[in-house]
Amino acid sequence: MRTNRMFWAILLVGLGFLFLANNLGLISVNVWGLIWPAFLILMGISFLLGSARSSEEMVLEKGTIALEGAERATVTVKHGAGKLTVNSSAESGTLASGMFANGLDARVKRDGNQLNVIMKSHSPVFPEVMFPWNWTSGKGFQWDFGFTKSIPLNLVFETGAVDAHLDLADLQVKDLLLKTGASSTNLTLPAEAGLTQVKVEAGAAAVIIRVPEGVAARMKTDVGLAAVSVNKSRFPKINGYYQSADYESAENKADIRIEAGLGSIEIL
């Protein structure tokens, strides 16, 4: 924890000197414009340093959540730091299955024909969140698992310092909430789920959202210093929304709401 505090102290002092020098006229730069690129560089360096460490310390354990005849499920995935890979590869008869560093703590409640599940790690994530150089280290939290394709899902992802790849193309996701902090997230939306309600709440994050071909979308953005890039050939702006021309009549579509502070949002 001393190392963690030292890292953040040096970072804050450095930013303070930049603002002071800029206010005194000693330098003439857009300090706010430097913060996000610098943050991304630090993230990149931390990932490289972490990847260079031995993976022998990482303990990957298989985890499963039984489906038990449920007809739908609401799942909250709490992942503080590390790497998160999610797809549709769940084993037959399971709601979710895969490999989990430090093990999986799954809390399951049944409500009629629905499962309500919270997925989180057995190990505390606070040190990992506080010290970026641990994000991808051998002691980082690497999760690689899949959900079932057989039932409708409501998914909530609560992530911190995460490199996340969420491929939901083959899943029946009806409602999706992504709450993420200082992270990089690559999200592919469902291809044949009917209407999917999507909400993204991002802090200092880089988020890429892929809308599969044949899926219409309507999106509304509320951003602070975040940069937003939208494929306007697919989603022209109409009355304050980016929207597919055939949104109202489309069988498969996504209604997307994005709230972001600092970072970048790209919609493809």
pLDDT given at position 227? 86
Give me the count of residues in the chain.
Answer: 268
The model's pLDDT over 159-205, given as tens digits with 9 standing for 90+, comes to: 988 899 999 999 999 999 999 988 899 999 999 999 999 999 998 88
pTM, to two decimals: 0.76
Q: Looking at the DSSP assignment, which residues form a beta bridge with residue 82? A: 141, 162
Distance (Å, whole) CA 120 – CA 116: 14
Contact (Cβ atoms closer than 8 angstroms) between residue 186 and residue 166: yes
Residues 6+ apart with CB under 8 A from 3: 131
DSSP states of 42-80 as a string? HHHHHHHHHHHS-STT--EEEEEEE-TT-SEEEEEEEEE
pLDDT given at position 39? 64
Q: Smallest Cα–Cα separation from 76: which of 149, 146, 159, 157?
A: 157
Distance of CA 250 to the CA centre of its chain: 27
pLDDT given at position 173? 98
pLDDT given at position 121? 84
Helices 2-23, 31-52: axis angle to 10 degrees equals 160
Distance (Å, whole) CA 174 – CA 161: 26
pLDDT given at position 16? 72
pLDDT given at position 45? 57
pLDDT given at position 141? 77
Q: Looking at the DSSP assignment, which residues form a beta bridge with residue 230? A: 267
pLDDT given at position 135? 43
pLDDT given at position 1? 45
Establish how many alpha carbons lie within 13 A of residue 182's alpha carbon, considering only the half-sphere containing its beta carbon.
21
Exposure b/e, 234-247, CB count within 10 A at least 16 = b: bbeeeeebbbbeeb
pLDDT given at position 30? 65
The domain locations on the chain are 60-188
Instruction: Copy the structure tokens of residue 53.
Output: 């460490």
Q: Smallest Cα–Cα separation from 102: which of 161, 64, 59, 134?
A: 59
Q: Token pair 């999106």 is at which residue? A: 219
Where the chain has pLDDT below 70, the residues are 1-12, 15, 22, 28-58, 123-140
Distance (Å, whole) CA 4 – CA 81: 14
Distance (Å, whole) CA 212 – CA 252: 10
